Amino acid sequence: MIKVSAPGKIHFLGEHAIVFGKPAILAAINLRCVVSLNPNKTGKIKTFSRQLVKGKERFDAIDIAVSETFKFLKKPKALGFNLQLDSKIPVGCGLGSSAAVSVSVIGALFLLLGEKFDKKKINQIAYLTEQKIHGFPSGGDNSTATYGGLVWYRKEAEDLKIIEPLPFLLAKNLARNFVLIDTGRPKETTGEMVAGVRKLFGKRPQWTEKIFNDQEKLVKKLLSALKENNERLVMETIRLGERNLEKIGVVGNFSHDLIRQVESLGGVAKICGAGGDKDRSGILLAYHVKPELLVALTKKLNLNSYVVALGEEGVRQDG
């Protein structure tokens, strides 16, 4: 039996602008998707998952990842195997669940087919898979699921991406004060949110570009703040980055109000990933010097919150 896992991710900052060539900082989290492969003699591919529902978007990620891998490696699809997927990453709320599915499925197939576990190739195929699922993804989610850690990501052109794993870890005092707040699954998919921002860009190119330029400056400030363990600056970049995300219409009213509540308690929060405008906006990345105050707030509001480790390992063989 072959076992491969890949992590989910959070966007520190730069989501959406990343699709338009601006940089983003992402971090792998300690919630993983595990794929187990067992060859069978039927010559057929059978897929199982406890969390994913057949006929729903994320189940497609498995089938698409399988066929993109065979296509990329120019192998005939003659093998039969059972593929079991077990993911701890909540689906559809900005934690990169589909990218983690793609990366772990592709990694497991590489081992099954006797290919070298080449992360660059795995990431390339995962990007092709993500394109089929989401339309115009940046490639940031699959790169973080592949390489892990803290990742500086920028797409210069379709075939040139700067993926720079950051050579430092978060200082302990910073790392323990982040809380992920689940506002609930958005009505829109990632692809729909990205398409919405693209439409806005088409209508008001200069105005949108200005926001993206400002977001780029904030991402650069955040980079130094994380490196230098400058808590005040980390908080400021998150607060201002959120304002930019609100301007481009990816934060629904519920999350907007919740973020203001977090701020009135002395913390900061932002949507984390594609967001959602019609109703809920998926996961919020929140920070407070006393994170227990945020956990208490989410309990009062009957929302789930997660305290996660940031900067986990990328795709790896587990067995």
Would you tell me which residues interact with ligand MEV (CB under 6 A)?
A: 15-16, 18-19, 94, 96, 137-138, 140-141, 190, 193-194, 273-274
Which amino acid appears at position 83 of this protein? Answer: L
- Closer CB to ligand MEV, 7 or 273, in the complex: 273
- Closer CB to ligand MEV, 288 or 312, in the complex: 312
Report in angstroms how near the CB of residue 132 gets to ligand MEV at its nearest.
13
- Closer CB to ligand MEV, 135 or 165, in the complex: 135
Task: State residue 24 phi and psi, 5-degree precision.
Answer: -140, 155
- Closer CB to ligand MEV, 36 or 129, in the complex: 129
Distance CA 90, CA 155 (A): 26
Report in angstroms how near the CB of residue 6 gets to ligand MEV at its nearest.
15
Report in angstroms how near the CB of residue 254 gets to ligand MEV at its nearest.
19
Structure tokens at 133: 């699922």
Closest-CA residue to 110 (of 318, 292, 317): 317
Structure tokens at 180: 């992920």
Cβ atoms of 263 and 247 within 8 Å: the answer is no
Report in angstroms how near the CB of residue 99 gets to ligand MEV at its nearest.
8
Report in angstroms how near the CB of residue 263 gets to ligand MEV at its nearest.
23
Report in angstroms how near the CB of residue 81 gets to ligand MEV at its nearest.
29
- Closer CB to ligand MEV, 83 or 99, in the complex: 99
- Closer CB to ligand MEV, 94 or 149, in the complex: 94
Structure tokens at 199: 């439409």
